[in-house]
Structure 1
Amino acid sequence: MSGPTRVYVARLSGLPVYDPNGDQVGKVRDVVAMLRQGTQPPRVLGLVVEVFARRRIFVPMTRVTSVDVGHVITTGLINMRRFEQRTTEILVLGEMLDRTVTIRETETTGVVFDMAMEQWRTKDWVLSKVAVREGSKRFRRRGQSHVLDWTDVSGFAQVEEGQGATHILAAFDSMRAADLAAVLHDLSPKRRKEIAAALNDERLADVLEELPEDDQVEILAGLDTERAADVLEEMSPDDAADLIAELPTETAERLLTLMEPDEAEDVRRLLTYEERTAGGLMTSEPVILPVDATVADALAHVRNAELSPALAAMIYVCRPPLETPTGRFIGVGHIQRLLREPPSELVSAALDTDLDGLRPDDSLTAVSKYLATYNLVAAPVLDDEGRLLGAVTVDDVLDHLLPADWRDNDQPQEVDHDGS
């Protein structure tokens, strides 16, 4: 083992993991430890590493040859089976940060904001140090911070209700919503609820859109009704509709009543369509522009960071009104084509008017064939009067083409990273 003998765990989050050849295996997402009796420091068993397709695997510390600034190096045979936490194991980032502990010497309490692991002469790795911040007695002032030996604190053995999530979210702050969703999926229901409570509405909405339906329903049920409605408003209408469809009828109606009328109306309309149809797949909020919009207008609209890449690939030109269902649909503007036009040019001069569009009752198979036939990542959905109802994007199509448990459907395999 090379590198420093003491490593702070929060700094490991997101570090790339390499094999001896310099090929990246994945990224560190957590550290797995085992609590021991008495005051013995917990033994570090290994790392949770995220590999291809956001699958999380377990890499034993015996396979880790270097933990250094900026990277981790492994060797040997790595089991690619999805990581499943055992009852005797604890996730350091996911479960130990933000714990309230007692400093034995002073009997004061503090919150854990980091932990350090180090390698003993026996070659075992243990959690040797606990970074604790005391509660401040003065308004808006941080309490004192201490780095203490494991034996100097107590409280990890007890189940803590209402555990915070400030420091775990700080460790995962740079994660994409899909990656944070994968982290939450692997945590206990208790910890998922606590972290969800600490996320702001917009971030939680983004994460919910990436979670399996069972997790979505569980997390939403753990929020008070008014906040649940606020989070649904921040979700894409199609994702909000899919989630509401999984709720009991009475709960769904109560949430829709609490939502802003315009947001609720979009969701109610989407709920009228069958799930595996163009209407059930579409979003009611594509980029819609009037016929007198310029190329510069179109490019300004698709710069919106909240748009998915598929939605930002195409604009839809319609007669007023410009809210779905719109006036008569004129055509679509492909952003790649618009990038080749002068900014002052009208988008109507560069429209694709040959696309007939999908109908809301078109099947998932028909939608898939349509996108494949015309090499599209998004497509308009029109009613019988030629009005734009919404747009279907390829990511939603793939989500419904894959098995329902595709996020968990990992086949175990082993990959040799011994560098030979």
Structure 2
Amino acid sequence: MSATRVFVARLAGCSVFDPAGDKVGKARDVVVVYRTTRAPRVVGLIVEVPGKRRVFLNIGRVTSIGSGQIITTGLINLRRFEQRGGEVRVIAELLGRKVALRDGSGDATIEDVAIEETAPGEWEVGDLFLRRPRTASPFSKGATTFATWDQVRENNAPGESQSAEQLVATYSDLLPADLASTLLDLPEGRRLEVAEELPDDRLADALEEMPEQEQVDLISQLDDERAADVLDQMEPDDAADLIAQLSTERGEALLELMEPEEADDVRFLLAYGPDTAGGLMTTEPIIVSADATVAEGLALIRRHELAPALGAAVCVTLPPYEPPTGRFLGMVHFQRMLRYPPHERLGTLLDTSLEPVKPHTSAAEVSRRLASYDLVQLPVVDEQHRLVGVVTIDDVLDYLLPDDWRSTSEDPEPVGTGTASIPTRSQTGRRTPHGPHTTSGT
């Protein structure tokens, strides 16, 4: 059943289907255009299709919105979305915006926007869900209220930064790769504003998923102390890769501000070339003693914050248990642990057939070994056979794929049950003063 009134924040992330029931993507935002005497008109949705591509779906192609899903006429043009002059993205740009109530009762912040269907295929902004400023009480979040578009006016002074708190809350459930893609899709000023509001660990996750140039552009806009805090939260190999792209002066300044242990790991990795095992490895594998039990090993790999590739096995060494460790004894894969009782010692389950590599082993050789033996991580030892890190499959894939693999993909054919593409927005019967979207993919 189609809804005639939908709040945009709830719409974000809803699956988009064609009439046959095949999923074609997820809704990420709503695009509106302002009008002089009426509420803004909805012109379409931004939909994320496979390959992380953001495309435009004209609202006239939407036949149903409801029950957490969106049904289309079956035809979506897969040219990458590019925002036109006069268009406003509700989640990216309107939520968090300050307004003044025309009745003189004060200011408020837009926390959500309802869109309403006024005629078949015609939607416009309806009620605004607003939050008033906090009171003097530290526990007050401010009262909420509803208002129509004509009951408010925007009161942001030119150049005044808008609150990004609501937008950050909207992104709270996004996976790191989706968060990175969403940030890169924002206007540059808004991107920095949201980055400033994100917790250090969330921004670190997003940076790890961005192309190198975008990483550098964003970290360069942060002050040194905030940038160092974010780098502390990144995996050491990712932090090293990012610092290597900065000027020597900025990189050293950030290393001085980082936590000493984190900075030491990064400096250690920077000593190796990017096309070697040392340049690809992470210095934070799971390391245990030979006397540790299966139960202890499984508890360590069960940690929520652990990357899947690092949780695929534990490394067994002699003390000390921080890289560079004592002598490396071997690895125990998690599947092997599952086959033995909880009290079994890990020292009896070692995979001794796995030959570790040296830090200066070429990336090509590391890739060959991972592929040849169906591994997801490979230990790296120094000349004294001490464990210094592991190379994981995701690190190798990042090395092998083109630098811009996250942001480029071939333009696929339109998907859905229709037989023709949507070359312009005006072909749906809605007038538009803008030209067609240009293709930014290959």
Q: With structure 2 as the length reference, what TM-score do the two structures score? A: 0.90
Aligned to 2:422: none
Map of 1:88-107 to 2, 5 A cutoff? Answer: 88-106=86-104
Q: Could you tell me how far 1:409 is from its partner in structure 2? A: 1.1
Aligned to 1:15: 14
Q: Could you tell me how far 1:158 is from its partner in structure 2? A: 6.1
Q: Could you tell me how far 1:132 is from its partner in structure 2? A: 1.5
Does the alignment pair 1:115 with 2:98? no
Q: Could you tell me how far 1:411 is from its partner in structure 2? A: 2.0
Does the alignment pair 1:340 with 2:364? no
Aligned to 1:81: 79
For residue 69 of structure 2, what is the amino acid of its counterpart?
A: H
Aligned to 1:47: 45
Q: Deviations over 1:109-145 (max 9, x none)?
A: 1111001111223632112322211113432323332
CA distance in 1, matches of 2:29, 2:159: 20
Contact 2:113–2:127 at 8 Å: present in 1 too? yes
CA distance in 1, matches of 2:82, 2:334: 43
Map of 1:197-216 to 2, 5 A cutoff? Answer: 197-216=196-215
CA distance in 2, matches of 1:213, 1:387: 31
Aligned to 1:66: 64
Q: Deviations over 1:332-358 (max 9, x none)?
A: 111111110111111111110121112
Does the alignment pair 1:238 with 2:237? yes
CA distance in 1, matches of 2:51, 2:306: 22
CA distance in 1, matches of 2:345, 2:50: 43
For residue 397 of structure 2, what is the amino acid of its counterpart?
A: L
Q: Comparing 257-266 with 69-78, which one deviates more in the overlay?
A: 69-78
CA distance in 2, matches of 1:156, 1:313: 53
Contact 1:13–1:172 at 8 Å: present in 2 too? no
CA distance in 1, matches of 2:158, 2:176: 28
Q: Comparing 216-225 with 401-410, which one deviates more in the overlay?
A: 216-225
Q: Deviations over 1:177-200 (max 9, x none)?
A: 211111001001111111111111
2:124 to 119, 126, 131: 126
Q: Say if 1:416 and 1:54 are closer, same or farther in 2 by CA, change over 3 A.
A: closer
Aligned to 2:377: 378
Q: Deviations over 1:137-170 (max 9, x none)?
A: 4323233322211122122786553222221122
Q: Could you tell me how far 1:307 is from its partner in structure 2? A: 1.1
Q: Say if 1:171 and 1:372 are closer, same or farther in 2 by CA, change over 3 A.
A: same
CA distance in 2, matches of 1:397, 1:53: 20
Q: Deviations over 1:70-102 (max 9, x none)?
A: 111112321122222223322110111001111
For residue 225 of structure 1, what is the amino acid of its counterpart?
A: D
Contact 1:19–1:419 at 8 Å: present in 2 too? no
Aligned to 1:367: 366
CA distance in 2, matches of 1:418, 1:407: 28
Runs of 4+ that moved beyond 4 A: 156-160
Aligned to 2:438: none
Does the alignment pair 1:193 with 2:195? no
In structure 1, stretches of 5+ residues that fail to align are: none
Map of 1:171-320 to 2, 5 A cutoff? Answer: 171-320=170-319
Contact 1:20–1:419 at 8 Å: present in 2 too? no
Does the alignment pair 1:393 with 2:392? yes
Contact 2:98–2:156 at 8 Å: present in 1 too? no
CA distance in 2, matches of 1:158, 1:32: 23
For residue 402 of structure 1, what is the amino acid of its counterpart?
A: L
For residue 53 of structure 2, what is the amino acid of its counterpart?
A: R
Q: Could you tell me how far 1:273 is from its partner in structure 2? A: 0.7
State the secondary structure of the residue aligned to 2:126: strand
Q: What is the total number of aligned residue pairs between the two structures?
A: 418
Identity %, equivalent residues: 50
Aligned to 2:426: none
Contact 1:368–1:397 at 8 Å: present in 2 too? yes
For residue 398 of structure 2, what is the amino acid of its counterpart?
A: D
State the secondary structure of the residue aligned to 1:117: strand
State the secondary structure of the residue aligned to 2:414: strand
Q: Could you tell me how far 1:217 is from its partner in structure 2? A: 2.0
For residue 377 of structure 1, what is the amino acid of its counterpart?
A: V
State the secondary structure of the residue aligned to 1:120: strand
CA distance in 2, matches of 1:172, 1:159: 26
Contact 1:133–1:145 at 8 Å: present in 2 too? yes
CA distance in 2, matches of 1:105, 1:7: 26
CA distance in 1, matches of 2:369, 2:312: 16
For residue 64 of structure 2, what is the amino acid of its counterpart?
A: S
Aligned-pair Cα RMSD in Å: 1.8
Q: Deviations over 1:247-279 (max 9, x none)?
A: 111111111111111111000000011112111
Q: With structure 1 as the length reference, what TM-score do the two structures score? A: 0.95
Aligned to 2:145: 146
Q: Could you tell me how far 1:281 is from its partner in structure 2? A: 0.7
Contact 1:82–1:410 at 8 Å: present in 2 too? no
CA distance in 1, matches of 2:417, 2:212: 39
Aligned to 2:326: 327
Contact 1:78–1:414 at 8 Å: present in 2 too? no
CA distance in 2, matches of 1:416, 1:242: 37
State the secondary structure of the residue aligned to 2:110: strand
CA distance in 1, matches of 2:258, 2:114: 45
Q: Could you tell me how far 1:227 is from its partner in structure 2? A: 2.0
Contact 2:101–2:151 at 8 Å: present in 1 too? yes
State the secondary structure of the residue aligned to 2:119: coil
Contact 1:44–1:61 at 8 Å: present in 2 too? yes
